[in-house]
């Protein structure tokens, strides 16, 4: 038997018992004769005392032990001497007087200190099995487990069944590049790893499964800008005979029930969650994934500024653009340099410039001051509520650029002025997404969500004449400035699905080769259906207050898509390539 208790179990009631613990040396303090070892495992820490007066051999082993050795200790539980109890530790009332110590696994000196929060991430990832020993990482793994378990139990209670779908499949477009797997049995042919189980879950609806879910791995070969991983996990779900709000209500109920259980310290912004149309989100927050924990909304001043003598404003309005602003509280005193930095930031977002108006006690200041009349200032104040002490930031540009720039500035000030409560989870639904997005590089329409999304019935006829105006029955779940899930009501009719593929620029032969199986399935009695896929990595990241998803994935890739621990990807052997009929071209 390796242990009778964990390192988190022992309490005063165990005093006098002989116990065996196994764990890692967390700390070791050599006090001349006495050696104190804190033995650690996933469950806690227990103080072990090796005294040569009790056991010479055990003491001799304790002398050789070092941090992160795995030890097995047998001894007697006793009360700590009065005054040396540690109330911060669950086991802090007791210690184990060692009678026998055995080294089960010695350890080299670790490449980094486990309690050093500033260790370089590449070193942490290279030795991830050590990194995961840290309490913070153990907490993240446990939290993730609790989230997934709650989801599984909830979905089961609501009549969903979990069905596994293949990893080796065919292209399932979600807007990224596919990972391909060469077939040995069919040289020259490839499986594609699913970017999501989208097609398969829809086919399960055709199969009559009615309510499906899966904790599903998705694979997308995209540049890992920001916070992405080549593979990630979603709670994938699909339901038959539903309308949009049936899906939204179910997921909202899941999250509303789950968060107080897994992270009681988090508060939900509101119940029920807001539903914000896509265009309204862009217009008020400059983003389709708005952070709703604070105000600082965007205002459209185009009407107020219609007759403006300010050239920059005139120019933008004259070419179909807008004048929009945000009002930054308490920043009227910004220096020239601070304003210049904001302008540089605005230009990085694509804006031509940034105009400012500072409402100071001594009057109006700023780069726009000369060109804005007192009447216009009054009208701006009446619309936005701007007061003395505030700084108004204007962008005059196309609607897209103005929204993007001011949306980014809104987030910059969120962080700078600490406007967002970190304990708040501000969930909301973004609804009524456009069906298509114009791809200027390729000069064609792409699916904004994915090609299986149902356009709104009343917009079907616009598909040829005005694709940009077609709205879809698609929705996103957002929280604290992140997109947390996407979903939609799906197309279940062959004719509509075919038309969408055509609209996306696929020719009939291509459609047949890639999606013939879907189109055929829709000819055998397909129920109306819809669903969504909340991401699990990002949710756990937010719940754990972590800055990126790598912290909540046991073995993530780094930002160059490498597994630096196992050294993957790595070259294949010549023999393997031959079997696959593959020749690697040197680049
Ligand atoms: N398959 C979609 C995605 O991965 C989600 C959905 O539409 O259910 O974003």
Per-residue pLDDT of the chain (587 residues; tens, 9 = 90+): 899 999 999 999 999 999 999 999 999 999 988 999 999 999 999 999 999 998 999 999 999 999 999 999 999 999 999 999 999 999 999 999 999 999 999 999 999 999 999 999 999 999 999 999 999 999 999 999 999 999 999 999 999 999 999 999 987 778 889 999 999 999 999 999 999 999 999 999 999 999 999 999 999 998 777 688 999 999 999 999 999 999 999 999 999 999 999 999 999 998 899 999 999 999 999 999 999 999 999 999 999 999 888 999 999 999 999 999 999 999 999 999 999 999 999 999 999 999 999 999 999 999 989 999 999 999 999 999 999 999 999 999 999 999 999 999 999 999 999 999 999 999 999 999 999 999 888 888 999 989 999 999 999 889 889 999 999 999 999 999 999 999 999 999 999 999 999 999 999 999 999 999 999 999 999 999 999 999 999 999 999 999 999 999 999 999 899 999 999 999 999 999 999 999 999 76
Q: Mark out the alpha helices in 324-363 (DSSP H runs).
A: 336-348
pTM of the model: 0.94
- Backbone φ, ψ for residue 198 (5° rounding): -50, -55
State pLDDT tens for residues 448-465: 989 999 999 999 889 889
Q: What spacing in Å lies between the alpha carbon of 228 and ligand 1's midpoint?
A: 16
Q: Which two three-digit tokens encode residue 369?
A: 């001051």
- Whole-angstrom distance, CA of residue 541 vs CA of residue 552: 6
Q: What spacing in Å lies between the alpha carbon of 568 and ligand 1's midpoint?
A: 28
Q: Which run of H or of E encompasses 61?
A: helix 56-64
Q: Which of 165, 171, 174, 193 to mutate to test the pocket of ligand 1 (most atoms within 8 A of CB)?
A: 174
Is residue 441 classed exposed, middle or buried when 0-12, 13-18 and 19+ CB atoms within 10 A define those classes? exposed
If we measure between CA atoms, which residue out of 473, 448, 521 comes closest to residue 246? Answer: 473
State pLDDT tens for residues 335-356: 999 999 999 999 999 999 999 9
- Return the residue matching tokens 């002989």: 18
Cα distance between the two ends of the chain:
57
Q: Is 532 in the pocket of ligand 1 (CB under 6 A)?
A: yes
Q: Is 198 in the pocket of ligand 1 (CB under 6 A)?
A: yes
Q: What spacing in Å lies between the alpha carbon of 533 and ligand 1's midpoint?
A: 5
Q: Which two three-digit tokens encode residue 529?
A: 């259906």
Q: What spacing in Å lies between the alpha carbon of 172 and ligand 1's midpoint?
A: 10
Q: Is 68 in the pocket of ligand 1 (CB under 6 A)?
A: no
Q: What spacing in Å lies between the alpha carbon of 538 and ligand 1's midpoint?
A: 15
Q: How many other C-beta atoms can be found within 10 angstroms of the C-beta atom of residue 280? A: 14
Residues 6+ apart with CB under 8 A from 303: none
Q: What angle do CA 393, 396, 399 make, to 5 degrees?
A: 110
79-83 LR contacts (CB < 8 Å, sep 24+): 79/12, 79/15, 80/47
Three-state SS at 143 = helix
């Amino acid at each position: 038997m390796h242990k009778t208790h964990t390192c988190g179990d022992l309490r005063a009631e165990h005093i006098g018992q002989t116990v065996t613990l196994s764990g890692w040396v967390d700390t070791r303090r050599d006090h001349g004769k006495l050696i104190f070892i804190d033995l650690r495992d996933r469950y806690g820490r227990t103080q072990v005392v090796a005294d040569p007066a009790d056991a010479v051999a055990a003491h001799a082993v304790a002398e050789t032990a070092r941090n992160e050795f795995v030890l097995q200790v047998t001894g007697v539980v006793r009360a700590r001497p009065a005054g040396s109890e540690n109330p911060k530790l669950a086991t802090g009332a007791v210690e184990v007087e060692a009678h026998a110590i055995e080294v089960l696994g010695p350890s080299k000196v670790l490449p980094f200190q486990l309690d050093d929060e500033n260790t370089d991430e590449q070193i942490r990832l290279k030795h991830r099995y050590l990194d995961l020993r840290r309490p913070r990482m153990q907490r993240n793994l446990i939290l993730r487990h609790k989230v997934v378990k709650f989801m599984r139990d909830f979905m089961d209670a609501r009549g969903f069944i979990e069905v596994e779908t293949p990893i080796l499949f065919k292209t399932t477009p979600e807007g990224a590049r596919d990972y391909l797997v060469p077939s040995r049995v069919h040289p020259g042919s490839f499986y594609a790893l699913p970017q999501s189980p989208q097609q398969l879950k829809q086919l399960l609806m055709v199969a009559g499964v009615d309510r499906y879910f899966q904790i599903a791995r998705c694979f997308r070969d995209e540049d890992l800008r920001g916070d992405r991983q080549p593979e990630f996990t979603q709670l994938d779900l699909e339901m038959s005979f539903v309308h949009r709000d049936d899906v939204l209500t179910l997921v909202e109920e899941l999250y509303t029930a789950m968060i107080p259980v897994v992270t009681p310290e988090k508060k939900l912004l509101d119940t029920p969650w807001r539903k914000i149309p896509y265009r309204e989100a862009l217009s008020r927050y400059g983003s389709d994934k708005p952070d709703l924990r604070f105000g600082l909304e965007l205002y459209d001043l185009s009407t107020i500024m219609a007759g403006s003598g300010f050239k920059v404003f005139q120019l933008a309005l004259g070419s179909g653009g807008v004048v929009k602003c945000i009002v930054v509280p308490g920043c009227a005193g910004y220096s020239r340099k601070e304003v210049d930095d904001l302008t540089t930031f605005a230009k990085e977002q694509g804006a031509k410039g940034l105009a400012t108006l500072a409402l100071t006690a001594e009057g109006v200041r700023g780069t726009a001051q000369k060109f804005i009349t007192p009447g216009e200032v009054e009208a701006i104040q009446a619309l936005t509520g701007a007061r003395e002490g505030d700084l108004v930031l204007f962008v005059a540009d196309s609607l897209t650029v103005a929204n993007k720039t001011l949306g980014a500035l809104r987030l910059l000030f969120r962080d700078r002025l600490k406007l967002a409560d970190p304990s708040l989870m501000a969930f909301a639904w973004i609804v009524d997404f456009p069906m298509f997005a114009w791809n200027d590089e390729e000069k064609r329409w792409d699916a904004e969500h994915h090609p299986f999304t149902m356009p709104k019935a009343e917009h079907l006829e616009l598909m040829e004449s005005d694709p940009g105006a077609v709205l879809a029955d698609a929705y996103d779940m957002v929280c604290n400035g992140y997109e947390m899930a996407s979903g939609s009501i799906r197309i279940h009719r062959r004719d509509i699905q075919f038309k969408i593929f055509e609209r996306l620029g696929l020719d009939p032969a291509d459609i047949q080769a890639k999606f013939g199986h879907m189109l055929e399935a829709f000819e055998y009695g397909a129920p109306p259906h819809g669903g969504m896929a909340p991401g699990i990595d990002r949710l756990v990241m937010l719940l754990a207050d972590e800055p990126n998803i790598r912290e909540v994935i046991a073995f993530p890739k780094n930002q160059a898509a490498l597994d630096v621990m196992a050294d993957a990807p790595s070259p294949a052997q010549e023999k393997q390539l031959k079997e696959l009929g593959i020749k690697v071209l040197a680049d």
